[in-house]
Structure 1
Amino acid sequence: MNADIIFKYFPDLTAVQQSQFNALHELYHTWNEQINVISRKDIDELYTRHVLHSLGIAKVMSFEPDTKVLDVGTGGGFPGIPLAIMFPRSSFHLVDSIGKKIKVVKGVAESLNLTNVTAEQTRAEQVSDQYDFVVSRAVTRLKPFYQWVKNKFRTESFNALPNGILYLKGGDLNEELKEAKKKYQLFDLQTYFDEDFFETKKVVFVPVG
C-alpha cells in the first residue's frame, strides 16, 4: 500500500513530504505488531481512515508558520503526525494518557525525522503550555472536551481562523453541539474527499476567546 490517495488530494507536496507519507504504512505495520494502536481491520485502510481523515483538518485550516498545535488523545499519532508532515513549519505537541501509545508516536516521529513534533504521556488538563489550536479525533463529547482545553490558548490569533478547537467527529452531532452551547462552524469532509468513509465525517471548529 502506498500513499497515492494522499497525493490525489494534496498534489503539491515536496519530495520529503511524499517520502514521509509513503513511509507511514511500513512504520505503523511494524509498530502495530508490537503495540496495538490501530485495529486490525483499520491498519489495511491506514491511509484513508487515519492519515487522510487527519488531513481533513488541513483542508479546513492551513496553519501558518510558527503556529503551535496541541493534539489531545493522539492515540498512535492522529491527527498530529499527518498534520506535522503537512505543516513542517508549525509545531505539534501530541499528548495521550497511555504511555505505550506515546512510545509509538515518538518512534514514528523519530523515524520520519519530524523535528516539529513532541510527545508526552499526560492528560490534557495537566498541559501547562498555551497553543493556537487544539486538534483531536473524537476523544469525548465536545462539552467536557472544551472544559479540558479552554485555558490552553494563546490570546493573539494570526491564522485564517481565530484560535480554537478543530475536532474530527462523525455521525449526527446535533445533540452534542446543542449540549456544548458554544459557537461553532461545521465542515463536511465529504466536500473534500470522495470516499464513502467520509460520508458522515466532519471537522467541528469551535473558536475560543
Structure 2
Amino acid sequence: MIVRAKLKEYASALGISLEDVQLEQFDCYAQTLVEWNQKMNLTAITEPQEIVIKHFVDSLALLTAVELPQGAKVIDVGTGAGFPSVPMKIARPDIHLTLLDSLNKRVVFLDALSAALGQENTCIHFRAEEAGRSPAYREQFDLATARAVAHLRELSEYCLPFVRVGGRFAAMKGGDIDAELAESSKAIGLLGGKVEEIKRFSLPDESRRSIIIIKKISQNTTKYPRPSAKIAKNPLI
C-alpha cells in the first residue's frame, strides 16, 4: 500500500534505519488503519503518502527528540489510532508500550493492530485523569506522550502524573507553540515538570512541527490530576 522506499528514505533522514521486516510492519499498519477506518472514525488521513508523512514520519521524529533507555516504559495518552507510539515501537521493539484511550472501540482496534504487528502492547480503556490516579499507572513510566489538539496546560495535567521522577513528557504539537507554552508554564511547574527542550522540525511536506519535552523533577501532589470537568472549568493559570 505505502511506498516503502520513501518511508525508508524519510526515516533515514531522521537517523533511523528501517529493515525490510519493519517496512512490512508499517505497510501492514497502513492497510489495517484504512480497513478499520471504513467502519469507525480513526483518521481523516487515508492517502498512502499522507499516512507515511503525517502519521509515520511525524511519529518517528519523537525517537530523535527523546533518548529512551533500553526497555523503556512508554504510555501514549489518548492514543487514538496509535500515534505516535506504535510507529516508535516498530522502530524500537524493545519499548514496553501502554496505549490508553477513553473510547472502547478504539481500544478494540488497538488490540487488533497490536496482534497484526506482532506487538505485545497493553491496551487500556480508561479516562486519562482516572488512570493517572491509579497506583498501577501513576508515576510508572519513563515517557508519557500525547499527539493531541488539547492545550499544553491541560495535556500536562493529564500526562505528567504518569511519569516517574526523572522521566519525561513529550507533547507533539504544530509549529506555532510559543504563546501556548507561555500560558502553560504555571501548570507545568505545579505538576512537577520543567521544560527541558523544544525540538522544532519540518516534515517532508514542509509542514512545521514542534515537540515540547518536559522533564519530571518532582512528584505530583495527590491533588492532580483533577476530574476532567474541573480541568476544563478551572485551568491551571
**TM-based fold match above 0.5:** yes
Structure 2 gaps, min length 5: 189-193, 218-237
Partner of 1:141: 151
In the TM superposition, residue 62 of structure 1 has moved relative to its aligned partner by 4.0
2:82 equivalent to 1:77: yes
Q: TM-score, normalised by structure 2?
A: 0.77
1:139, distance to aligned residue in structure 2 (A): 4.0
Letter of the 2:210 partner, please give it: K
Contact 1:72 1:136 in 2 (8 A): yes
1:49 aligns with 2:54: yes
The Cα of 1:110 is off from its aligned counterpart by 0.7
- Aligned mate of 2:101, from 81, 90, 96: 96
Give the match for residue 206 of structure 1.
Answer: 214
Higher Cα radius of gyration: 2
- Matching of residues 108-147 of structure 1 within 5 Å: 108-115=113-120, 117-127=121-131, 128=134, 129=137, 130-147=140-157
Question: Would you say 1:9 and 2:10 are equivalent positions?
Answer: yes
- The residue number in structure 1 matching 2:200 is 188
Distance in 1 of aligned mates of 2:23 and 2:204: 21
Cα displacement (A) at 1:135: 0.8
Amino acid at match of 2:213: F
Answer yes or no: is 1:165 the counterpart of 2:175: no
After TM superposition, the runs of 4+ consecutive aligned structure 1 residues lying more than 6 A away are none
For 1:149 and 1:196, locate their aligned partners in 2 and report how far apart those are by CA, in whole Å.
29
Superimposed CA distance per residue, residues 10-67 of structure 1 (whole angstroms, 9 cap, x where no aligned partner): 342233212211222211111111222011xx11121111111111201212422111
With the length of structure 1 as denominator, give the TM-score of the two structures.
0.87
Report the CA distance between 1:71 and its aligned residue: 0.2
- C-alpha offsets along residues 77-119 of structure 1, whole Å, 9 cap, x if unaligned? 111210111111111101111111111111111101112x211
- RMSD of aligned alpha carbons: 1.6
* Identity rate, percent: 26
Secondary structure, counterpart of 2:210 in structure 1: strand
| Unaligned residue ranges in structure 1 (runs of 5+) | 158-162
